[in-house]
Amino acid sequence: MSTTGKKPNRAAGGNARSKSLTPERKKEIALAAVNAKKQKASLLKATHGSAENPLRIGDVEIPCYVLEDETRVLSQRGLLSGLGMPKGSTPSGDDQLTVLANTMLAANLIDPDKALLLKMPIEFRPKHGGRAAYGYPATVLADICEAVLEARSSGRLPQRLQQMAKQCEILIRGFARVGIIALVDEATGFEKVRARDSLAKILEAWVAKELQPYVRTFPPDFYEELFRLRGLAYPPENPKFRPQYFGVLTNDIVYERLAPGLLDELKKQSSKDEKKAHLHRRLTQEVGHPKLREHLASVITAMKLSSDYKKFINNLNRLHPRFGDTYTLDLDQKDR
C-alpha cells in the first residue's frame, strides 16, 4: 500500500506492464484481439428479444431471442431458471446444463443429439450490442420436460431429478411443442415481422413486376351474370359498354378475395404504368393467372345459383370471404 495515501495509478501500472512485454508478445496479444473481434462479428445477431421482455410461462420468466437466421433461442440463465436449477458451475467445473445432459444420457432419458444441444450452446450477439450471449434452441425446453416427466411416469427418473420433475410439470402445462415457437415470436415481437414477411412472399408470387401481355381473362358469362344480378339489360346496345361502377364491384368480387393485400399491391404496381391497364395484367403467369381463372369459375357458379345481387354476395361471402380489412366503396351496404 502506498505510504502517501494516494491510490495507485492504474494507467502508470499498465504502461509499465506494456513496456515489460517483448515485441513478439505484443504482436501475439494484438493478433488475439483482432481474431476475437472477427469471431464476435461472425456470430449471429439477435434481431428480436431482450431480457426486459421475457417469455412468461406461469411464474417463470425466460429471456428469449430470435436470431438472424430465425432460430428461436432461450437464454442460458433463463433455461436454468425455468428448470429450477442453480446458476453457475458444479464442483467438477462443468456447467449445470452439461451435467444435466450427462445425467439424462446415463439414464437413457434423452436422445444423444438433443443432449449435445445442451452441451453446445449457441453463441450470439445481443440486439443492442455488448458481450456475446449464450442460448439454446427453444424446443430444447420442451424436450427436457417431456423426457423428465415420461421417466418419472415409468419410474426411471433418478432421485436427483425428482425436484426438477415438479418444475417440468408446471412448464409443460404452459406450452405444447408446437406452441413454443409462437410463444417466443409473441414475446419478442417477431410475430408481426413474420406476418409481414409472409405477406410479402405471397404478393411476390402473385404480382408481376412487369406488365403482362393482354389475354382475355374474364369470360363473357361473368359480365352477363353481373348485368342480370344488377338488373341491367343484356346484351347492352354497345357490346363494349360496362357501367363505370362495375370496376368497383369487380375489385370486391375478385381481387379482394384472391389473396391478402393483393388489390392494394396491384393498384400500387399499376400506378407505375404510363397508360392505365387491366389489373389482371399485373398478375404472374405462374401463380396469379391460374388462381384468378379458378376463382372466376367459382364466382360464376355462385352467380348462376343466385337470384339477385344480395343473395350472390351472401353466397360469395361464404365461399370466398374477403381478406383482412374491407375497402371503403361508394356502394350501399347491401352491395357488400
Phi, psi (degrees; rounded to nearest 5) at 293: -60, -40
Q: What is the DSSP letter of 273?
A: S
Q: What is the pTM of this model?
A: 0.46
Give the pLDDT score at 186. 77
Phi, psi (degrees; rounded to nearest 5) at 284: -70, 150
How many of the other CB atoms lie within 10 Å of CB of 271?
8
DSSP characters for 76-97?
HHHHHHHTTPPSSB-TTS-BHH
At 26, the amino acid letter reads K
Give the pLDDT score at 210. 78
Mean pLDDT of successive 10-residue segments in the chain (336 residues)? 50 56 64 56 83 80 88 88 74 73 88 85 83 86 90 90 88 68 77 71 77 84 94 88 92 91 87 79 89 93 95 92 57 52
Q: 159-189: buried (b, 16+ CB within 10 Å) or exposed (e) per residue? A: eebeebbebbeebbebbeeeebbebbbebbe
Among residues 144, 162, 147, the alpha carbon closest in space to that of 82 is found at 144
Provide the grid cell at 235.
346484351
Give the pLDDT score at 328. 40
Give the pLDDT score at 3. 47
Phi, psi (degrees; rounded to nearest 5) at 97: -70, -30
Among residues 95, 74, 47, the alpha carbon closest in space to that of 143 is found at 74
